[in-house]
Chains A and B, each alone.
Chain A
């Protein structure tokens, strides 16, 4: 059982900079993978986790080269093998599932054929054996009706099902070691939980060793026996999963765990200052020095070694780790938000809003109306009060962004009204809005790489709204820009930078500053933290909260992450297929009774705690279109009571906590069912 199948020894990998300097992105990494063990490698983007994982199958990305050390697979060094030798190992002994493996399936070939190809390549089975094996594999990854599945094309499967096919293909060669690089990133919460559950099952069932690379401690916690934490190209902490997650004795891991929002905690997670150093920028001392609150002068000059702590069976790279051993009971705390004194004034009302993407027919175009019996978003009624943060949650395709776009005037509504302050009707057409209304509603997007013009400096980016709305120029413009940067905690010297010269978190802060430049009343935030690393996410959430408390801005906050929503929002609206399921004060939405869909979502949340397992109550199928009649959730509802759900739109019921639920099951009964 304790047989080591792959062992990395003192591995350093680097590249030559343009100035001809050698820069290492992995430094002195050593670790062992035992047979049947699942090791989670966690770290933020740029920490070198993927480079390590790839090296473990003997692959070094172009431009990089090993500086020293070895990767021994069954005591043979993969880094010294010829490509012919590696071909024999890859796919057969070591298989890999990359991040978007599901999308990487060949679109015009049937699933069965693609698995058959993998089998032909990696095994010596004959045709009949292979056919048997295909259905066996499809069964193993628990795809529904494996017989017909083999004859389908990739686009006929959902994202989660595609990922299962990728797993099946990786298992084709019966590998001893399975490498997974962010295999569930980009999948929906429920799908992600299902895929992780499958991987756990496969690890147990087949005894395959797995290396699971992810930035997400929640996912890592669900599958790993052992966890390796990477920071700036080094292993900073390594040990049994439970110990790492419950008693982290490295300040980075400790901070990381604290910066993850948790379902059980209202209030904002503590943020870590700064961001990970760029490769090559650390010359001496501990690489975490800049961000560490336990740092001493000693750390500045000396680099700590990986030290083995016997009692905890853990390796740690920190001089002052002892100070953390007693601090761990603090892990379950958060920063309390100032209770919002949202005055009862309503700033924005959505009344019976429906939105359709259906192509307009010629006749309808003439009459300027949209006829679609089953629009993407239907009957949304939400009143948003001044100064509150209201969150819209739901899986991908639930219409969250669609609703935001309509509020912003980027998408025409089909029916219903959007009313601004004092019940004034807002046109859903951008061109019909007056400039002041345009100023009053600002948007922040998910991915700052896409939302900031790569050819503009930060100064140009921030001056756009200032020039447009306030006609500022010269000295005054500059003063305002510096002010804005200060608000998002960036220094003046950022003005001349281009977006590519900023880290992800910094970019997003510039995007936040740009939205605030307009002095808006309402800011629409579309998944504003989901492209960010957790330690950076917490900082952005804290800045958003601070600005709101100072300026009284109203947020409409869209997210698929229930824990983030829990942290920042005052009120939550849950959407399924463009229909509201539940709405209420956030502390109550997270309590029972909940709408069955909310229950499913809450059950699928991955917490960075090995003891909290997701509860998988509904299938992870994806529905293409909302149903024509009845309850929007009828297709997946685990509590469905019968025909009434298919035929009649459920009524709103108000619980005693003030959350409204749209379900045919009596609310008290729901409460007792969910206890």
Chain B
């Protein structure tokens, strides 16, 4: 009973802390804008199947390339499909794939980074060399190879994207761990005789978590761009799945006379990327992490 109380207390503390962080993020205009955009996209992704006015794959020769109107807010595409429907559902695809992709990236990148930072020495050297070697392969070529071997289902795309975007997280996690293990509180825990697992769990993870999360958020927006590029090139999700990259690629030839079919997905994609970027920046600032010196890889 008593210990229950203690944990409850802690949870409340954590909730409060998260709320505080959100509040700080929203206190600056850029953070507020970012949060609003992301929230907007997430809500839209969640409710889009219920509010979509048309069937996203219903082809209709009668309604080809209609300009925006009361019936078709964003007009229709070359196959007569409603662009509004496809845009809001496209956000759902992009968010799902990249969200789970980022999660995978965080997990393997974070754990490997912490491990390397902790053991140091030869093992660290070797692992980092390997990671660097992977970093130097143009990821898009590697993705093409994977996709052409295994197909373009989300079951393939999510782990593949997660793998490629985890490399940067390894570096950040490793550097953060390196900084932390030199601190006296780790020395103190070692001198007391705590086990390695207990040191990783209690002392290291809470102190590198923030840096890794921020990096993960940044990677998320890059992954979004990557994922859409793949679709654009025809190596992402396959038609008729509603997807921004695909939509842009299909409609780009019609730009000059049916601009509406390409504007909507572009606005959707770029606003989400900007939104996530702004949010990640505000998140970093709220946690007191300076990202300004790091260039995206």
Kindly report which residue of chain A lies nearest to residue B198, judged by CB atoms. A468
- Interface status of B206 (Cβ within 8 A of chain A): yes
Most chain A beta-carbon neighbours within 10 Å: one of B13, B183, B194, B202: B183
B residues 179-215 touching A (CB-CB < 8 Å): 183-185, 187-194, 202-203, 206-207
Contacts A410-B187, A445-B184, A454-B207 given; indicate if A430 touches B193 (C-beta within 8 A).
Answer: yes
Complex interface: chain A residues within 8 A of B189 (CB) = 464
A residues 448-473 touching B (CB-CB < 8 Å): 450-457, 464-465, 468, 473
For B27-54 the 0/1 string (1 means CB < 8 A from A) is 1000000000000000000000000000
Give min CB distance, A53 to chain B, whole Å.
Answer: 26
- Interface status of B293 (Cβ within 8 A of chain A): no
| Contact yes or no, B206 A453, CB < 8 A | yes
Give min CB distance, B57 to chain A, whole Å.
Answer: 49
| Contact yes or no, A464 B193, CB < 8 A | no
| Contact yes or no, A435 B188, CB < 8 A | no
Complex interface: chain B residues within 8 A of A496 (CB) = 9, 13
- Interface status of B3 (Cβ within 8 A of chain A): yes
In the bound assembly, the distance between CA atoms of A409 and B185 in angstroms comes to 16
How many residues on the B side are at the interface (Cβ–Cβ under 8 A)?
22
Contacts A450-B183, A456-B206, A474-B3 given; indicate if A468 touches B194 (C-beta within 8 A).
Answer: yes
Complex interface: chain B residues within 8 A of A445 (CB) = 184, 187-188
Give min CB distance, B285 to chain A, whole Å.
Answer: 13
| Contact yes or no, A410 B190, CB < 8 A | yes
In the bound assembly, the distance between CA atoms of A456 and B194 in angstroms comes to 16
Give min CB distance, A303 to chain B, whole Å.
Answer: 32
Complex interface: chain A residues within 8 A of B2 (CB) = 474-475
Total cross-chain contacts (CB, 8 A): 65
Complex interface: chain B residues within 8 A of A148 (CB) = none
A residues 221-238 touching B (CB-CB < 8 Å): none
| Contact yes or no, B184 A447, CB < 8 A | yes
Contacts A18-B27, A456-B206, A496-B13 given; indicate if A450 touches B193 (C-beta within 8 A).
Answer: no
- Interface status of A443 (Cβ within 8 A of chain B): yes
Kindly report which residue of chain A lies nearest to residue B27, judged by CB atoms. A18
Give min CB distance, A513 to chain B, whole Å.
Answer: 13
| Contact yes or no, B185 A451, CB < 8 A | yes
| Contact yes or no, A453 B191, CB < 8 A | no
In the bound assembly, the distance between CA atoms of A474 and B206 in angstroms comes to 23
Quick one: which of B3, B6, B27, B203 contacts A453, CB cutoff 8 A? Answer: B203
In the bound assembly, the distance between CA atoms of A478 and B2 in angstroms comes to 10
Kindly report which residue of chain B lies nearest to residue A526, judged by CB atoms. B184
| Contact yes or no, B202 A464, CB < 8 A | yes
Give min CB distance, B288 to chain A, whole Å.
Answer: 10
Complex interface: chain A residues within 8 A of B27 (CB) = 18
For A101-114 the 0/1 string (1 means CB < 8 A from B) is 00000000000000
| Contact yes or no, A452 B190, CB < 8 A | no
In the bound assembly, the distance between CA atoms of A438 and B188 in angstroms comes to 11
- Interface status of A80 (Cβ within 8 A of chain B): no
| Contact yes or no, A453 B192, CB < 8 A | no
Complex interface: chain B residues within 8 A of A475 (CB) = 2
Most chain B beta-carbon neighbours within 10 Å: one of A452, A453, A455, A464: A453
Kindly report which residue of chain B lies nearest to residue A447, judged by CB atoms. B184
For B148-191 the 0/1 string (1 means CB < 8 A from A) is 00000000000000000000000000000000000111011111
Complex interface: chain B residues within 8 A of A438 (CB) = 191-193
- Interface status of A408 (Cβ within 8 A of chain B): yes
- Interface status of A433 (Cβ within 8 A of chain B): yes
B residues 206-230 touching A (CB-CB < 8 Å): 206-207
For A393-411 the 0/1 string (1 means CB < 8 A from B) is 0000000000000001110
Give min CB distance, B64 to chain A, whole Å.
Answer: 55
Complex interface: chain B residues within 8 A of A478 (CB) = 6
The 10 A-B pairs with the shortest beta carbon distances in the complex, nearest first, are A455-B206, A451-B184, A438-B193, A450-B184, A445-B184, A453-B185, A408-B191, A474-B2, A450-B183, A451-B185
A-B contact pairs, 13 of them (CB 8 A): A430-B191, A430-B193, A438-B191, A439-B193, A441-B191, A442-B191, A443-B188, A445-B187, A451-B185, A452-B185, A464-B194, A465-B192, A514-B188
Interface set of B (CB-CB < 8 Å, partner A) = 2-3, 6, 9, 13, 24, 27, 183-185, 187-194, 202-203, 206-207
**Known contacts A439-B193, A445-B184; can you find 20 more A-B pairs with CB under 8 A?**
A409-B191, A430-B191, A430-B193, A438-B191, A442-B191, A443-B191, A446-B184, A450-B185, A451-B188, A453-B185, A453-B206, A453-B207, A456-B206, A457-B13, A464-B192, A464-B194, A464-B202, A465-B192, A468-B192, A468-B193
